Every structure is written in C-alpha cells, then in structure tokens.
Amino acid sequence: MTEPGQRRSGRAGAATIYDIAERAGVNPSTVSRALNHPGRVSAATEARIRQAADELDFHANPMARALPTGRTRTLALVLADVTNPVVFGLIRGAERAAAAAGYTLVIAESQESGAVEAATVERVAPAVDGIVLATSRLADDEIGAIAARKPVVTVNRGGSASANVSPDVEPGIAALVAHLESLGHRTLAFLAGPANSWTSTRRWDVLFAAARRAGLHIVEIGPNAPTVEGGGDAYERCEASGATAVVAYNDLMAMGLIQAARAAGRRVPEDLSIVGFDDIFGAALITPALTTVRADLELAGEHAVTHLLALMGEGDAPADCAELATELVVRDSTGPAPTR
C-alpha cells in the first residue's frame, strides 16, 4: 500500500504515472490515456496531467510503452562498414527522417560479412519496429525471411524481397563514359568491389553497356576488397589490362589505386586516369582531386526510413527515386589518354 506522498517507482528517483496521478488527482489509467493517446480525456484534465508530469520531470520509458502496443519506436540501420565515409550521409539522412517521425535510430555493422549481418539482425530485430539494410551482403531469400518477421527496406540492394532505395547510376555513368571518350580513352577497366555486392554488379552492368554503345573496349578486374588497400592491391592488374582509364567501384578503392600508381612512378592522370563512385568526404582533398560519380546519399537514407515507416503504416512512401539520380563530378584525376 502506498502512503500519501510516497512515490511508487520502478526505478529509484524516477517519477511514474502513479506519481503523476497522485499529484493531478486522477487515476493512473487516466494518466496513461492522456500521455499516450492525446484527446482521449478532457482538455482540462490533460493539461493538469501534463503539468504534473513536467513538475515531476517525468520521462516515458519506451520499452514499457512497447508492452501493450508492440512498438518500441526504434528503428535499426545495419551497415556493411561503418568506417567507410560513404555511410556518413546515409546515416544523417536516415536519422533526420527517423527523428522527424519520433523514432530513435540505432546503428549496427556487419563488417562486410553476410554471416555477421544475419547474426546482427537476429540480435536487434526483437528490439526494433523496422530495419534498413544498407548495401546488404545477404542473399535474397535471407532478406525475404527477415522481411517476413519485420518491415525491411534495403539501400543499394535491388532484386531482394523487400522495398529498395537505390540511386539511379545510369545518368552519372553515361556522363562518365562521354567524358572519358571525349578525352580520347578507348580502353577502360572497371575495378570491381566484393563478389556478393549488388551495387558492384549494377555499376559494372551499366558501365559495360554504356562503354559498348560508345564503341569502347572495357574489362572487369576483381572481385576486390572495397577499401583503400583493395584498390592499391589491384594496381598491377589494372596496369596489365592496358586500360588508360580505370573506374573503381568506390572512392576508397580509387584513392588506393592513385597511391599505388604514384608509388610505381606513374602519373595520374597523365599516364592513367582514375575515377571513383560516391564522392565521399576527402575525394576533393587528395592529390590529384578525384573525379567521381556522386549520389545524394543523405536523401537515400531519408527515403529509406520514409519507405520503412510507410510499410509500418505511418505516412506515405516517396513517389519514386527519380530525384536520386547520380551526376558526374569532374576533377583532376582524369585527363587526355596517353599516347602509347
């Protein structure tokens, strides 16, 4: 039995709805309705309850609230590599959309491993209302199994059994091929990413088609680790290909390739033009500044969370991803093809 003035709290020092009810002179159930379902009690009673909650510095426990509703108001963003600067914009956009809807976003990493990703999702799924898988390394059936349990949206992972948000690479790649062709390049190489990367396959397919339409020779080199080291390790294979321009799967690999070429005494772009993807932070700061295909990754993150909330019955999904078109950013790492 609680004596008058005594706080009934599950946590020492933390106010509960019982404390609010006592101060406001109402039943605890009335407090719950006022705080969780505004409009269900009279305006005067709700105002009195909210004033009491403010005076007691009351903070709702989201996990306790989830018990009757089944909702934690928490979303998960699972990333392949949290150290890759390409995810910075994605995280920012996703966090902005989640916060605007009153949700908390938690970040988890799969370390470029499908097995780790599956285990990570298994751990976080019970505690969240929905999941965004960014550059997933899972197979389609694995993603489908997750989507059967929780709302799932993928980023840069077409072909899966869930909604997907992917920047349209065709405009950026078309501009890239036209740029290289105008500089006299006739033989290109694509430095592929991981073997199980949908994004790498998509970029290669579009680049291959665009190069062939332009009458250019093109070869794929890979798979490779999507890192600075992965790009550097592929330098000799790029050199052996005879390509005068190399398009790397991402900016990190392009940077590694530039470092390796310079270490070998080759000049960029005089001897070899190099292009990346994503326009990450630092792409314009290296020497030479990197030519790259840019995507609005903040918008991609925002769209992914908006799609996810729509699957959960909150709001409408974006109409389409037309505004996620890519564009070519020309800097100093591309130049006229060398005469050989």
For 35-87, the pLDDT digits (tens) are 776 677 888 898 998 899 888 888 766 555 554 556 789 999 999 888 889 89
* Burial class, 122, CB count within 10 angstroms (exposed 0-12 / middle 13-18 / buried 19+): exposed
pLDDT number for residue 64: 55
Please identify which residue in the block is written with the tokens 């969780």: 36
Tokens of residue 39, six digits: 């409009």
Which helix (H) or strand (E) segment is 74 a member of? strand 74-79
User: For residues 19 and 282, what is the distance between their CA atoms, to the nearest angstrom?
Assistant: 53
Apex 92 CA angle, 228 and 153, nearest 5: 90
The answer to whether the predicted template modeling score (pTM) of the entire model surpasses 0.85 is no
Tell me: the pLDDT tens digits for 309-327?
A: 999 888 776 665 546 889 9
- pLDDT of 32 reads 79
The pLDDT value given to residue 8: 46
**Mean pLDDT, the chain cut into blocks of 10 residues (340 residues total):** 40 73 89 76 88 83 54 91 90 95 93 91 93 89 90 84 85 98 98 92 97 98 96 97 97 98 97 97 95 94 93 75 82 93
Question: Which pLDDT does position 319 carry in this prediction?
Answer: 60
Q: For the sheet containing 74-79, what is the strand order?
A: 104-109, 74-79, 130-134, 152-155, 163-165
Could you tell me the domains of the chain? 17-60 (1.10.260.40), 72-166+298-321 (3.40.50.2300), 170-295 (3.40.50.2300)
Distance CA 73, CA 92 (A): 18
Q: Are 324 and 302 in contact (CB under 8 A)?
A: no
For position 71, what pLDDT does the model report? 75
Please report the pLDDT score of residue 5 as a whole number: 39
Residue whose tokens read 């004033």 = 51
DSSP character string of 293-328: EE--HHHHHHHHHHHHHHHTTSS---S-SGGGB-EE
Question: Residue 316's pLDDT is what?
Answer: 72
- CA-nearest of 245, 223, 129, 124 to 178 is 245
Query: Is the backbone of residue 282 left (phi > 0), alpha (psi -120 to 50) or beta?
Result: left
